[in-house]
Structure 1
Amino acid sequence: MNILVSGAGVAGLSLGRDLGMRGHSVTIVERADQLRGNGSPIDVRGDAIDVAQKMGLLSAIRDARIRMTEQVHFVDENGTAVGRLPDDIGDSPDDIEIAREDLARILADALPVTVALRLGESIESVAERDDRVDVGFASGGSEGFDLVLGADGMHSAVRRLVFGPEQNWIRHLGLYVAIADMPGEADAEAERINPMYNSPGLLAGIARFKDRAIGLLMFLSDPVDYDYRDVEAQKNLLFDHFEGCGWKIPAILDAVRADPHLYFDSVSQIHLPTWHRGRFALVGDAAHCASPLAGRGTSLALTGAQFLAEELERSGDDYATAFARYEARQRPYVEFAQGTVAGGGALLVPPTREAIASRNQLLQPVGAGG
């Protein structure tokens, strides 16, 4: 079949690989003019490791492994460590932490010749016919496809066009998160320790991995009305919440000011009653974002892409059956992941000084454990 995939994140690139290797002609469109490289490292865990093995990419993923979260220390305003996360916060020792840009590169390099990747392009309109979907693009062109798959993240354009407004499906978890590049910290001659600092309702941190450093900011908040593409408005929200705070927050805010590719978003989940309609289906965060608190978005993207490609192969042209079977296989993984976030926000961003002190008592002493 001739298949259009919206989004070139992990879900979209995985779909391209899995579908292209099964003989489909695939076009991936990505709004950005480059593959996403900003943001914090991500995890491949659980059955997603077996998926990576089936794709023939596990060795390359393991070769790019980093170990950032094993070095997270919570600190006080003077930078003195007060504890670290327990050793058993991950699923198992087999979990693989990897820089987002490295996984994107591995997946993009593995795309077969039957897959076309178009950067700087996005879907503007869709019209389903009896035998195809007519798609209008932001560039002004239009094409017909047998299927359209939305792998375009929590703010999915495909989901909006097919299933309706985002507010119908989003469940805010009470937090916002921002990540900014901090090149001045990347070459610091210091231990590879990633400090995290809390003030009531706020978290700030610096994380170093490979040759990079990023500043992390999180704050508690009810839903805020803002344009998720307006970077300057996002920066102003961060200044409003963090201006005047101590520790290294002024340096992180300087990095926010300087970063034209700042990552900022709500910590939210997507809950849909179904992920497919007609010739459309959703994969990854577009279908079922579990939020960064779950730490399983990458793994869900990998399993979902593989399940969908396998079911299309088994069902032939019967895409409706394939979509239903894909959803039945993926749902248990999603329900588990979305159910793991309870208490995660309070652990990372306690709302009061008393809650911070109580959380610190639960932390593992620095230097303890393996």
Structure 2
Amino acid sequence: MTTTKVLISGASVAGPALAYFLHRDGYEVTVVERAPDLRDSGYAVDFRGAAFEVLEEMGILSEVRGHDTRMGGTTLVDEEGADIGRLPAEAFAGELEVPKREVTRILHRITADDVAYVFDDSISALTQHESGVTVEFERGATREFDLVFGADGVYSKVRRLAFGPHAEALRHLGLSGAGFSTANHLGLRRSGMLQHGKDTAIYLFSAGDPERLTVSLSFSTASPALDRRPRHEQEQAVRAAFAGRGWQAPRLLEAMSEAGDFYFASTCQVHLDRWSSGRIALLGDAGYCAAPTSGMGTSQALIGAWTLARALASAGGDHAAAFAAYEAELRPYVAENQALGRETAATMFGGGTGLADEHTS
């Protein structure tokens, strides 16, 4: 019997999780990642609900729990930095919060011996035919695969090539923000501080490294256009949004330009009429991002990979039937998470905190 060859684009969470399950089920799996190595970005991610069942099935739940940030509560402060309230740990950390880099490393480690990882490359063209998909790469040689999966994030290359332009899939929720780390001059210890304004928010926390302070500067935006712009333009937009703000704003804006881990992203959802096209399917943020404001991104990625793999295993080689079953089972769950993401984003600068979410997408 011929082994089914699959290509997964993206080596963050959804991609390696799917690779784990597909290899277990007898597939020959290749994962391509445009970054030169495992990504070390991202601050902390949350796990909720059925995601624990997925981690348990993968045999890594105890190890993941070992990286619990054990975050405490978050102090709310006014424009002058005076305490005005407090949020419990659950508002940010969910049932379990873990540094994203640790999750990525664990998933890579448990798959590295069985899955072919190709870093520093990306898909440049996809051509489907009756028996498979011809995949062209930016660096590597053209190859043939039976199935291709896009697990490559909100700005998925697979989705753009096989489903259409980003603009047709993205729904902007009115927020953008910069993230980075700096010296922990506030002396926070497994705790956070939030200063919430009319159209801006400053969230600071220290979890793993007591010497470092993680910074999130969020503000209202009309579109996600800044996501694809150079860093200096993103910084310029952040400075304009926080100009004249008090408390820590001036110091943080100065630290932003010196940060080596600067990150910028808009709060968007991905909406598609279908998650598959022929022999190509999407999962995680690439197919149905619920936005960081949902707090469900990582859990949804794991559950999506698990659901897709089970559908393929049950379909006896009929990928079309598997993709249909995967979508039918998962869409209600995704719809709930996306509704939560929209509701939370709507309160961001409307009186609520809007920040009961993952610390990064």
Q: What TM-score, normalized to structure 2? A: 0.91
Question: CA separation of 1:107/1:189 partners in 2, compared to 1, >3 Å: closer, same or farther?
Answer: same
C-alpha contact (below 8 Å) 1:72/1:193 kept by paired residues: yes
Partner of 1:367: none
Partner of 2:191: 193
2-structure distance, mates of 1:39, 1:245:
26
Partner of 1:124: 124
Gaps of 5+ in 1: 364-370
Question: CA separation of 1:91/1:199 partners in 2, compared to 1, >3 Å: closer, same or farther?
Answer: closer
C-alpha contact (below 8 Å) 1:23/1:114 kept by paired residues: no
Paired residue for 1:64, among 61, 67, 76?
A: 67
Question: CA separation of 1:229/1:318 partners in 2, compared to 1, >3 Å: closer, same or farther?
Answer: farther
Partner of 1:214: 214
- How do 1:1-370 and structure 2 match up within 5 A? 1-68=4-71, 70-85=72-87, 89=91, 95-111=95-111, 113-182=113-182, 184-185=183-184, 189-211=187-209, 212-226=212-226, 228=228, 230-350=230-350, 355=351, 359=352
2-structure distance, mates of 1:169, 1:224:
12
The one-letter amino acid of 1:55's match is M
Q: What TM-score, normalized to structure 1? A: 0.88
C-alpha contact (below 8 Å) 1:136/1:142 kept by paired residues: yes
The one-letter amino acid of 1:40's match is Y
Residue by residue, what CA displacement relative to the aligned partner does 1:299-334 show, whole Å, maximum 9, x if unpaired? Answer: 110011011111212223211111111111211210
1-structure distance, mates of 2:272, 2:12:
20
Residue by residue, what CA displacement relative to the aligned partner does 1:198-225 show, whole Å, maximum 9, x if unpaired? Answer: 2320001211111143110100121153
The one-letter amino acid of 1:298's match is T
Gaps of 5+ in 2: 356-361
Partner SS, residue 328 of structure 2: helix
Question: CA separation of 1:55/1:191 partners in 2, compared to 1, >3 Å: closer, same or farther?
Answer: closer
Question: CA separation of 1:342/1:156 partners in 2, compared to 1, >3 Å: closer, same or farther?
Answer: closer
Count of residue pairs the alignment pairs up: 350
The one-letter amino acid of 2:322's match is A
1-structure distance, mates of 2:54, 2:231:
35
Question: CA separation of 1:260/1:333 partners in 2, compared to 1, >3 Å: closer, same or farther?
Answer: same
C-alpha contact (below 8 Å) 1:218/1:349 kept by paired residues: no
Question: CA separation of 1:272/1:173 partners in 2, compared to 1, >3 Å: closer, same or farther?
Answer: same
2-structure distance, mates of 1:88, 1:194:
12
Partner SS, residue 217 of structure 1: strand
C-alpha contact (below 8 Å) 1:5/1:26 kept by paired residues: yes
1-structure distance, mates of 2:276, 2:303:
17
Q: CA deviation at 1:111?
A: 0.5
Q: CA deviation at 1:86?
A: 5.3
Question: CA separation of 1:75/1:268 partners in 2, compared to 1, >3 Å: closer, same or farther?
Answer: same
Question: CA separation of 1:87/1:204 partners in 2, compared to 1, >3 Å: closer, same or farther?
Answer: closer
C-alpha contact (below 8 Å) 1:175/1:266 kept by paired residues: yes
Q: CA deviation at 1:107?
A: 0.7
Question: What is the identity percentage for the equivalent residue pairs of Structure 1 and Structure 2?
Answer: 38
Q: RMSD over aligned Cα, in angstroms? A: 2.2
1-structure distance, mates of 2:26, 2:61:
22
C-alpha contact (below 8 Å) 1:24/1:114 kept by paired residues: no
Q: CA deviation at 1:258?
A: 1.8
Question: CA separation of 1:139/1:39 partners in 2, compared to 1, >3 Å: closer, same or farther?
Answer: same
Residue by residue, what CA displacement relative to the aligned partner does 1:87-133 show, whole Å, maximum 9, x if unpaired? Answer: 764797xx111110011111111115330112211111111111111
